[in-house]
Amino acid sequence: MTALLPEGFRDTLPPFADAAAAMEARALAAAASHGYERADPPLAEFADGLGSRLKDGGLRNAVRFVDPVSQRTLAIRPDLTAQIARIAATRMAHHPRPVRLSYAGPVLKLRGDALNPAREVRQIGCELIGLDSVAAAREVVTVAVDALEAAGATGISIDFTLPDLVDAMAATLPVDDVDALRERLDAKDAGGVAALAPAYLPLIAAAGPFPDALERLRAFDTGGILASRIEGLGEIVASLGNRVQLTLDPTERHGFEYQTWLGFSLFVHGAAREVGRGGTYSIMREGGTEEAATGFSLYADALAGNGAPERRRLFLPCGTPAATGVAMRAAGWVTVAALEPRDTPEAQLCTHILDGGAAKPLGG
> How confident is the prediction along the chain (364 residues), in pLDDT tens digits per residue?
567 999 999 999 999 999 999 999 999 999 999 999 999 999 999 998 888 877 665 677 899 999 999 999 999 999 999 999 999 999 999 999 999 999 999 999 999 887 788 999 999 999 999 999 999 999 999 999 999 999 999 999 999 999 999 999 988 898 989 999 999 999 999 999 999 999 999 999 999 999 999 999 999 999 999 999 999 999 999 999 999 999 999 999 888 888 999 999 999 999 988 999 999 999 988 888 999 999 999 999 888 865 668 889 999 999 999 999 999 999 999 999 999 999 999 999 999 999 999 999 998 6
Give me the sheet containing 358-361, strands edge to edge.
334-337, 313-316, 352-355, 358-361
Short-list 107, 99, 115, 157, CA closest to 255: 115
Residue 98, number of CB atoms within 10 A of its CB: 22
pLDDT recorded at residue 272: 86
pLDDT recorded at residue 98: 97
Cα 93 from Cα 104, distance rounded (Å): 21
280 near 232, Cβ under 8 Å?
no
80 near 125, Cβ under 8 Å?
yes
Taking CA 103 as the corner, what is the angle to CA 102 and CA 109, rounded to the nearest 5 degrees?
140
How far is the CA of 282 from the CAs of 52, 130, 228, in angstroms? 11, 9, 19
Residue 357, number of CB atoms within 10 A of its CB: 9
pLDDT recorded at residue 206: 94
313 near 351, Cβ under 8 Å?
yes
- Burial (0-12, 13-18, 19+ Cβ within 10 Å), 142: middle
Return the sign of the alpha-carbon dihedral for residues 246, 251, 255, 261. positive
Taking CA 116 as the corner, what is the angle to CA 17 and CA 25, rounded to the nearest 5 degrees?
30
pLDDT recorded at residue 363: 80
Short-list 316, 327, 328, 326, CA closest to 355: 316
* Residue 351 three-state SS: coil
Taking CA 132 as the corner, what is the angle to CA 130 and CA 137, rounded to the nearest 5 degrees?
110
Cα 79 from Cα 181, distance rounded (Å): 28
